[in-house]
Every structure is written in C-alpha cells, then in structure tokens.
C-alpha cells in the first residue's frame, strides 16, 4: 500500500531504526481491515443499552433497531453527534482562550501581553462593546466576558456569527430555524435530541446539526487578540527541519497557549547555552506538528515538521528529543513510538493525558517558567539520543505562511490603497482569478498522504483557481513546495500568475505571492470567511453566489465534519474525498449532497477520485460565475 507521497515520510518509514516492532497508523489501519461495513455506512447505533442495533443495508435483515429507529434516523443521529463532537472541541479551545483573555485583563497572566490591540478594538466595536476612552484591559475584559457569555444562552443570535456573516446568510439561517444562540447549548441540544427516544425525524436532526455547526463557526475567532494577527513569514516545512546537531523539540496539538511561549523562550541565551553544554552544537530547534505547528509557524516562523497522520514518523527520525502536546489530533500511539526511541513525551493539558507520557501541568499564570522547564527536559533527553537510530530525511521546502485576512487585505492595498478589494474583484470579474478554493482538513490513512491535495491543486491552479489552505491542508502544501513564489511560476495558469506577480511586486515581496495562501490552523477557517464576506458585501451579493468552493479531500476528524457543515451552511459547495458514515441512508445522503443546495446554497460533494473532484469543483465555479453574469 502506498502510504504517503511525501518523500520525507516515505524515507523514514522505509529506513527508520526503531527496532522494537515499531508500528504506525498505516500498520494499525491494515490490521483493522476489513473495517466494519455497518460502521462505514453509519448503520450501527449504540445510543442505548438495548443495542447495539444494526440495519441491513441490503434490505434482507433488520430494517429497524429495537426502538424502531430506521436507517435514516440512525444515520442522521450519528452525523449530528459527529458535528457536536467537533463543535465541543473547537469551542473548548475557544473557551480556554476566552478565560485566558479574562486573566490577561485582570493582570493574572503576565506572560501574555495583548499582542493585537487594533484587532481587540475592532472586535469589541464589531460585537457592540463601547470602545471610546477605554483601556486595553477594560476592552479585553469585556470582549472575554462577551465571548464567555456566548457559551450560555441569552436567546440572542451569537455575536460572533451575527457580526461576521452576510445579512443574506443570517436570513437563510433564520428561515430554517438554525440560528445559533448558545455554543454549549447547541452541543448539549444535539446530545439531547439524539439520545434514545427523542428526535427521530432525520431532517429535523440534520437541522440541529447545522445549528450546532454554526456554533462551531462562532467559536473560531479569539486567538489573534492574544497572540497577534499573522503577517507573511518565510519558514520551512518537512521532516528535514529536524536537525541532527540540535536539541529538537516538537510542539504538537492545537492551542498555542503554551507553544507560543515555548517558541519565544527557546531563543533565550541560557537555554541555548544549556543545549550546547549537553553536546548539541546546533542549540535548540523548535519544530511544529499539526495545527499547533501552523500557529507557531505563522506567528513566529517556527518550521513545520509534519502533519497529523505522520506524527509518529517525526519521532521515528530518532532525533526528536521531546514532543510537547496540548490537545486534539494527538494519537495515543505517540507514547508507544516515543518508547522505541529516546523521545520524552510531555502532556500539558489536564484533559489530555497519555499513558506513558510525563504530565507537566500548564498554567497561564506561570507560562514562561513552565515553557523553560519543558525545554530543559528536552535538553536532558538529548543526552540519551542514540546516534545510530537517527534517520532524518534531507527534504524540506521553503514555505511562506501567515496570510491572515488582514495580511491579504494589506497586500491588496499595496495595489489599491483606497479600495483594497477592488484588485481582487476586478481580477475575478476578468477571469484572471476564475475562482477560489479553500482546502481544509486532515491527512488520512485511507488515502496516500497528500495525494488528493497535490493532484487537485495542480489541476485547479492551472485553471487559474486561487488556493487558500488551513490545517493539515496547509501542511501538505507547505511540505510540497506550493507556498513559494516559485510555485506560482511553476503551477499557476497565466492569468492567476500575472495577478499574483503584480500583487507580490506591489507588496515588495520581490516575487509573486504564493499560489496557495497559508491562512492558518483549522480554527482559522473563519479567516477565509472574513475575506469572502467582505467581497460579497462589497458586490452586494451573498456567499452562496460567489465562485468560492471548499475541499477536505483527506478529512479525518469530527472537527473537520463540523467545519465542513458550517461551510455548507455558509453557502459553499464542499468537496469531501472520503465519504463520511452517512451512505446507509439515501435520505440523509440526498439532503447533504442535493437538497441543501436549494435551502442554503451550499452542499457536500463526495468524490474520492481527485481528478474528478477537481473537475467537479471547476464546473461549480463556472456555474457560479455564470450566475453572476461573468
Ligand atoms: O485541527 S486538519 S488532523 S491537526 S483536525 Fe487535526 Fe485534521 Fe490536522 Fe488541526 Ni484540523
Ligand atoms: Fe437500538 Fe434504538 Fe437503542 Fe439505538 S437507540 S441502540 S437503535 S434501541
């Protein structure tokens, strides 16, 4: 089985010196085959202890569970709970940040200055907080209080949804009764209505899932105030960023609270000296994995080692002295991998401990000290590294990251300072930018790592589609060299290349903008929406009319499903390269892939073949262009 088209990953898989029966996600996937057909189709229910119940997809065996739930109900309930899982994760992350913002305002988190006061003020004004004559801490307090209030239920539409979507979208949500009024309430309500004997109407359940997904969307907006709004930064990506002569510390997970501080204190001379004293002439080398990796890459230029599916492979280089994890997308298997090498695995969050890891509880009050202590543990561990087990592939690529919505607008304003959106809109109208595709989501063992991303992007770029990327999609394009000026000349169609060159030169980049813009981690999917909403408002149209599409060609997690679902609600056609467990219900599948189009303008397009998927997205882009008279 072809596991990855990333040469660095393939080399380590082939040549690592793990010894002790080192297994990876791909091995464990093969051991699972064939996977359960009922589960794949979403036809297994375990929502009560009279089950598990299974529906026979061929119509020969049982068509109803013990309670009478049929395939449609069971599949819809299962999907809704997947969305709730995703929303709970993203909103847990957001709640954590809101609490920290509160502490910052109260002077209880001294290691976190407010890094973007302008954004704090803008967000405060947007959500209706008085800003005139108020101090930064007062504003931070009120924004945090408002954010925390979004988790409760005051019966009003969530401010972060109401103030960041188009009017047309809000009307569409209202007409379907899916306006989110509470983040926690939406998650809890999905759990309630999908329990034994509550909601059995599959369409009603799906509407609940859409509302919950919109709550997920609302929870994606706080990080820049605390950590700073990213600006373009040149870094490197792929396993070759791990250095043989340095103490290598990998930061893995999602919430940058600790990793952002580690990224900063790693340049302290005492720590670098300590690393050298331990024998690492290259000093300290901090690298990122998954979305924490994206966060520190776009804000601090920290190089990105690899993505989710290959997280164990970073350890298998034999040169990772410590892996520091926070939460989400951390395979328990990293503990086993670490045991086969000398890597110190450190968990930091009370809700995410791993058997086999050392837990260093992180507290915002003493963040910098905690970060230093963790780095010193990595330095100690370096002394135990076995040089004969080191297998670092030479591959890396340059990657320009940090294209926040603000950074994109700033780049555009170098072309037209009065009206920054005009160059973007003019080029869409002229066809130089035929459309925009947001790639999001994960890498899965079910697809050779990165294959779908890379084949689709080559086709779309050649057809002048501008690409935005977040999450592990960003990682794929960073590792494969698509986030460079050179990639524009190599892959972009003529029209797109001309636009990217003009903007890059006007912005003083000394070359074209990359054809794939790294917009951040998965919680940063709100950034592309911000740009799309600005364009839609400027044109006086709604999001579901724009030639903008999304794709999660190698999706894995519940979080990815939650994001895909709100993207559909936002009016985007969303391609999925791996079918979610819904195909056991013709009704649910037809709502998701067809009926939603009439209701919200967005829908899911399931296509495992990347060539066909790219062609389908181009067709949709052209239909939307035609709809706008272009
Ligand atoms: O939040 S893309 S595998 S790392 S879930 Fe996870 Fe998927 Fe990667 Fe980031 Ni997003
Ligand atoms: Fe079976 Fe119904 Fe219980 Fe599900 S909720 S396990 S279908 S009895």
Residue 406 Cα distances to 154, 228, 504, angstroms: 31, 11, 15
Residue 430 has pLDDT above 90, yes or no: yes
Supply 425's token pair.
Answer: 């809109």
Give the separation between CA 282 and CA 279, rounded to whole angstroms.
9
Length of the chain: 630
10 lines ligand 1 (CB under 6 A): no
Q: What is the pLDDT of residue 66?
A: 98
Determine which residue's CA is closest to atom 6 belonging to ligand 1: 329
Residue 220 has pLDDT above 70, yes or no: no
63 lines ligand 2 (CB under 6 A): no
Percent of the chain residues past pLDDT 90, beyond the cut: 97
Q: What is the pLDDT of residue 155?
A: 86
114 lines ligand 1 (CB under 6 A): no
66 lines ligand 2 (CB under 6 A): yes
565 lines ligand 1 (CB under 6 A): no
Of 44, 69, 192, the one to substitute when testing ligand 2's pocket (max ligand atoms within 8 A of C-beta) is 69
Q: pLDDT tens, 568-598?
A: 999 999 999 999 999 999 999 999 999 999 9
- Closest atom of ligand 1 to CA, residue 309: 3
Backbone angles phi, psi at 132, to 5 degrees: -60, 125
- Please report which ligand is nearest the Cα atom of 196: 2
Instruction: Kindly indicate the confidence band of residue 154, based on its pLDDT and cuts at 50, 70 and 90.
Output: confident
Q: pLDDT tens, 366-401?
A: 999 999 999 999 999 999 999 999 999 999 999 999
Q: pLDDT tens, 481-514?
A: 999 999 999 999 999 999 999 999 998 888 999 9
Instruction: Kindly indicate the confidence band of residue 221, based on its pLDDT and cuts at 50, 70 and 90.
Output: confident
Determine which residue's CA is closest to atom 4 belonging to ligand 1: 290
48 lines ligand 2 (CB under 6 A): yes
Taken in order 228, 232, 237, 242, the sign of the CA dihedral is: negative
Of 442, 445, 565, 580, the one to substitute when testing ligand 1's pocket (max ligand atoms within 8 A of C-beta) is 442
Q: Nearest-5° angle of CA 479, CA 482, CA 488?
A: 160
Of 559, 563, 580, the one to substitute when testing ligand 1's pocket (max ligand atoms within 8 A of C-beta) is 559
55 lines ligand 2 (CB under 6 A): no
Q: pLDDT tens, 13-25?
A: 999 887 666 899 9
Q: What is the pLDDT of residue 21?
A: 67
Of 43, 44, 45, the one to substitute when testing ligand 2's pocket (max ligand atoms within 8 A of C-beta) is 45
> If DSSP codes are grouped into helix, strand and coil, which group holds residue 597?
helix
Q: How many CB atoms lie within 10 A of CB 60?
A: 7
- Closest atom of ligand 1 to CA, residue 329: 6
- Please report which ligand is nearest the Cα atom of 200: 2
Q: What is the pLDDT of residue 20?
A: 65
Give the separation between CA 193 and CA 190, rounded to whole angstroms.
5
Provide DSSP, 476-540.
HHHHTT-SSHHHHHHHS-HHHHHHHHHHHHHTT-SSPPPSEEEEESGGGGHHHHHHHHHHHHHHT
Q: Nearest-5° angle of CA 422, CA 428, CA 429?
A: 85
Determine which residue's CA is closest to atom 6 belonging to ligand 2: 51
Determine which residue's CA is closest to atom 3 belonging to ligand 2: 48
Give the separation between CA 296 and CA 441, rounded to whole angstroms.
18
Q: What mean pLDDT is reported for the chain?
A: 96
Backbone angles phi, psi at 78, to 5 degrees: -60, -45
Q: pLDDT tens, 225-265?
A: 999 999 999 999 999 999 999 999 999 999 999 999 999 99
Sole residue written with tokens 């103490």: 247
């Amino acid at each position: 089985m072809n596991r990855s088209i990333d040469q660095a990953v393939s080399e380590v898989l082939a040549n690592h010196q793990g010894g002790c029966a080192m297994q990876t996600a791909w091995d464990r996937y093969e051991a699972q085959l064939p996977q359960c057909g009922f589960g794949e189709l979403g036809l297994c229910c375990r929502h009560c202890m009279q089950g598990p119940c299974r529906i026979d997809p061929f119509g020969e065996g049982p068509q109803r569970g013990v309670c009478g739930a049929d395939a449609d109900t069971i599949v819809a309930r299962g999907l809704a709970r997947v969305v709730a899982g995703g929303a709970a994760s993203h909103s847990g992350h957001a709640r954590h940040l809101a609490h920290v913002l509160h502490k910052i305002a109260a002077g209880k988190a001294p290691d976190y200055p407010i890094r973007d006061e302008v954004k704090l003020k803008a967000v405060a004004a947007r959500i209706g907080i008085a800003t005139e004559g108020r101090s930064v801490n007062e504003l931070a307090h009120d924004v945090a209080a408002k954010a925390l209030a979004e988790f409760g239920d005051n019966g009003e539409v969530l401010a972060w949804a109401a103030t960041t979507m188009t009017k047309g979208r809000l009307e569409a949500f209202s007409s379907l009764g899916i306006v989110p009024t509470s983040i926690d309430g939406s998650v809890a309500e999905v759990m309630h209505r999908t329990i034994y004997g509550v909601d059995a109407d599959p369409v009603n359940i799906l509407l609940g899932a859409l509302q919950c997904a919109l709550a997920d969307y609302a929870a994606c907006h706080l990080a820049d105030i605390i950590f700073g709004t990213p600006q373009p930064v040149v870094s490197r990506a792929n396993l070759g960023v791990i250095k043989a002569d340095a103490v290598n510390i990998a930061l893995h997970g999602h919430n940058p609270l600790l990793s952002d501080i580690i990224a900063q204190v790693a340049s302290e001379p005492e720590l670098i000296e300590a690393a050298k004293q331990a024998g690492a002439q290259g000093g300290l080398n901090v690298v990122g994995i998954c979305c924490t990796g994206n966060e520190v890459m776009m804000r601090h230029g920290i190089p990105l080692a690899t993505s989710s599916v290959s997280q164990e492979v970073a350890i298998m280089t034999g040169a990772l002295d410590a892996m520091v994890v926070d939460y989400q997308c951390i395979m328990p298997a990293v503990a086993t991998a670490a045991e086969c090498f000398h890597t110190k695995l450190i968990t930091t969050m009370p809700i995410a401990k791993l058997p086999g890891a050392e837990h260093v509880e992180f507290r915002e009050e003493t963040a910098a000290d905690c970060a230093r202590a963790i780095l010193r543990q990595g330095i100690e561990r370096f002394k135990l590294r076995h040089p004969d087990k080191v297998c670092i592939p030479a591959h890396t690529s340059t990657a320009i990251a940090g294209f926040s919505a603000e950074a994109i607008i700033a780049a555009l304003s170098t072309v037209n300072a009065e009206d920054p959106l005009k160059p973007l809109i003019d080029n869409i109208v002229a066809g130089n930018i035929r459309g925009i595709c947001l790639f999001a989501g994960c890498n899965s063992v079910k697809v050779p790592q990165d294959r779908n991303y890379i084949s689709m992007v080559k086709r779309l770029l050649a057809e002048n589609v501008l690409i935005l990327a977040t999450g592990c999609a960003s990682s794929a394009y960073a590792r494969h060299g698509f986030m460079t000026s050179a990639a524009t000349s190599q892959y972009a169609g003529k029209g797109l290349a001309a636009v990217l060159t003009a903007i890059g030169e006007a912005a003083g980049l000394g070359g074209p903008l990359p054809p794939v813009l790294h917009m951040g981690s998965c919680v940063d999917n709100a950034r592309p929406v911000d740009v799309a909403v600005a364009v839609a408002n400027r044109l006086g149209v709604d999001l579901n009319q724009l030639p903008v599409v999304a794709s999660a060609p190698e999706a894995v997690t519940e979080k990815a499903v939650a994001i895909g679902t709100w993207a559909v609600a936002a009016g985007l056609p969303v391609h999925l390269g791996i079918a979610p467990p819904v195909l056991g219900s013709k009704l649910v599948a037809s709502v998701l892939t067809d009926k939603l189009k009439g209701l919200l303008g967005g829908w899911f397009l399931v296509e495992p073949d990347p060539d066909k998927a790219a062609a389908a997205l181009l067709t949709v882009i052209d239909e939307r262009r035609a709809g706008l008279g272009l």
